[in-house]
Structure 1
Amino acid sequence: MGDVRVSGTILVLMVSYCSGSIICDKVDVAEIEGDVISVCYNQGSKEIKCLRNESLQVKQFLQKAHVSKDGDDRNADYRSCVEKFNDELYDVGECLLNASGVHQKMAYQAAIMEVLEECSQKRYCILESDTSSTIHGLKDLRVGERKKRPSHLVVLHQCVKEQVPSVMLCDSKTKTGKEVYISSNRLKMSSLETSNCTCTVSGAVSRVTLLDVRLGNSHVTTLSIRDKTRKVYTIQGGDQAVHFMKEIYISQPEWSLQMDVIRDYLPDKIWMRLEGNY
């Protein structure tokens, strides 16, 4: 891949999984930044829509649980889709990190993968909560110290203007700008004659953000960020691993992004943003 000249930052997001019996911290509603949509586990569907020149970026997953007025959570109806001011939110990521049950991990992972598949880097998506959806499968995973049954999955998201310059990974082009997006294309990757491709980034101090990286279920698929002396960050596939909203700062004036792939194990999605000071 050709040189990508960026005043650059790449953002990286990582996901965790939650167990029904694991204690997760409540989220302070005042600290939530971005748009939220609540999908009730017992009713219908919700849609998310951006403007024509924007793409959906999923930032965080939360569970919502009702709290009764008298403080006795046994009186709170988890089947109700009516949202109230005193509803509690729990961070799915932290729940996943603490989870030990395979069933709970798989349930959260499946729901997260479904939301990302439907919405990430799209202009419009619909999230279903009927019994055939993986989102519905989260309703029995209890949260908090009192092990409350949640009523909604809350998806924190924002619409971002994915304007030029942008780069397709493994495409031999050069782009320059304060902000550059890099995406993957499975068709182009499948036609590669080699098993790897490299982007060279030069510019000021860079912040790297992986907006949505799903490398698939093979450990042979890897994505590495290197400066001139060492690997700064490396992630690999396996068990449908998902990485999003984790930031990496690189102070070197030049660094590289390398993707190692095998045609039979192409990544499901790579979407990242590079930002710099110019």
Structure 2
Amino acid sequence: MRPVGVSSTLLVFMLSYCSGAIVCEKVNLADLKGQANNLCYKDGSREIKCPRNQKLLIPSLMQRVHSPEEYEDPSSCSESVRDNFHDIGRCLLNTSDVQEKMTYEATVREVLQECSQKRYCILESDMTSSIHGLRDLPVGKGNRLPSHLVITHQCVKEQIVLCESKTQTDKEVYISINRLRMSTLGASTCTCTVSGGASDVTLLDVRLGNSNRTGLSIGDKTGSMYTAHGGQQTVHYMKEVRMSQTEWRLHLAVGQDHVPDKIWMRVQGFNSTKVTVTCEEPHVAMPIPVVLGSSSGEHIVFACVGFVAGLVFAGLLFALLLRGDQDSPVPTDQDSRVPGP
């Protein structure tokens, strides 16, 4: 048997991992959308806020690292134009270290839980937060320790709710869920149809919960393009799916007592064209009535009919007894006398 060869791609990845250049890719802050918020790892806190009737969208998370040329304490909360920024999404995607991956995932989940789709939030980097663990993960070519977590945010207006009957037409449409209403539906399936032209759908923040009975699928006439299921607190964050067909559908299947933690996505038409999103009322799975089969093979609806028949029979019997007592002759004093000799 020939020895299994190692591909050149894997070798490049391993070399890149050792150097730290690709594992946590350096980014240009000016190229990112949204406003940047710096949270210092040295016992810092940061408030992020949107105007009334708007919600926080978190498009990216980064680590800020002081430039080696600055010759200062890596953990210093000072900020310089020469600082470098490294994308946490790339760190999470490319790292092969299990502990690093868990730390990055925990941070992403904490930031989204605190801020995503809310009007305002406060993030802290103290010992009790998952964010605190990032300060010990070196990044970049020099394997330098980061000084800040950088959160970019945008303020957007929500427009349409999954599992409710509504239609919205715009250049970009935001779709979310109402967890309180969905919790009353039980097992159900919800559908939205997108039409009007080719479009991009971005999973801004999708957390389907711990059950694989809850699933999200995106597809057109050619088949399913993307499928996600709940389980192990998986976060589907800023995942982009390109839909080339002029019409496609989004399906959400919710298992009994397994409402998703969060579903928030954005649909955008290509080249700023408008798209129409139409969501429908959910299809709710109806409970199957309990029936009992007789020895002859017949099916008898037992419980309700038997109970009602018993009540009717008891009522008739009670009425007959009462009427019988009323018709019986009542003895008089004269009838009760004993005749004399």
TM-score by length of 1: 0.83
**How big is the shift at 1:20?**
11
The one-letter amino acid paired with 2:62 is L
Q: Which moved more, 1:143-152 or 1:20-29?
A: 20-29
Q: 2-side partners of 1:125 and 1:114: how far apart? A: 11
Q: Over residues 192-230 of structure 1, what are the superposed CA-to-partner deviations in whole Å (9 max), with x where a residue is unaligned? A: 243422222332323222221112233332211121231
Q: 2-side partners of 1:252 and 1:67: how far apart? A: 46
**How big is the shift at 1:105?**
1.4
Q: 1-side partners of 2:126 and 2:111: how far apart? A: 14
**How big is the shift at 1:83?**
0.8
Q: 2-side partners of 1:243 and 1:102: how far apart? A: 19
Q: Which has the larger radius of gyration?
A: 2
Question: Is 1:273 aligned to 2:266, yes or no?
Answer: yes
2:162 to 151, 162, 169: 169
**How big is the shift at 1:137?**
1.4
Conserved in 2, the CA contact under 8 Å of 1:206 and 1:275? Answer: yes
The one-letter amino acid paired with 2:167 is K
2:138 aligned partner: 142
Q: 1-side partners of 2:152 and 2:18: how far apart? A: 21
Q: 2-side partners of 1:263 and 1:106: how far apart? A: 29
Q: 2-side partners of 1:27 and 1:124: how far apart? A: 26
The one-letter amino acid paired with 2:80 is K
2:176 aligned partner: 183
Q: Structure 1 45/205 Cα, relative in aligned 2: closer, same or farther at 3 Å?
A: same
2:118 aligned partner: 122
The RMSD of aligned alpha carbons is 2.2
Q: 1-side partners of 2:234 and 2:186: how far apart? A: 26
Question: Is 1:228 aligned to 2:221, yes or no?
Answer: yes
Q: 1-side partners of 2:29 and 2:180: how far apart? A: 41
1:101 aligned partner: 97
Secondary structure of 1:139's match? helix
Q: 1-side partners of 2:18 and 2:40: how far apart? A: 18
Give 1 or 2: higher strand fraction: 1
Q: 2-side partners of 1:274 and 1:68: how far apart? A: 41
The one-letter amino acid paired with 1:176 is Q
**How big is the shift at 1:242?**
1.6
Q: Over residues 45-83 of structure 1, what are the superposed CA-to-partner deviations in whole Å (9 max), with x where a residue is unaligned? A: 11111111221100011011112336xxxx431221011
How many residues align? The count is 252
Equivalent residue runs for 1:1-278 within 5 Å:
22=20, 23-69=23-69, 75-162=71-158, 166-171=159-164, 173-178=165-170, 179-276=172-269, 277-278=273-274
Q: Structure 1 227/271 Cα, relative in aligned 2: closer, same or farther at 3 Å?
A: same
Secondary structure of 2:69's match? coil
Q: 1-side partners of 2:30 and 2:154: how far apart? A: 17
Q: Structure 1 21/138 Cα, relative in aligned 2: closer, same or farther at 3 Å?
A: farther
Q: 1-side partners of 2:110 and 2:227: how far apart? A: 25
**How big is the shift at 1:21?**
8.7
Q: Report percent identity of matched pairs.
A: 54
Q: Structure 1 185/161 Cα, relative in aligned 2: closer, same or farther at 3 Å?
A: closer
The one-letter amino acid paired with 1:190 is S
1:8 aligned partner: none
**Structure 1, gaps ≥5 residues long:** 1-18
**Structure 2, gaps ≥5 residues long:** 1-16, 275-341
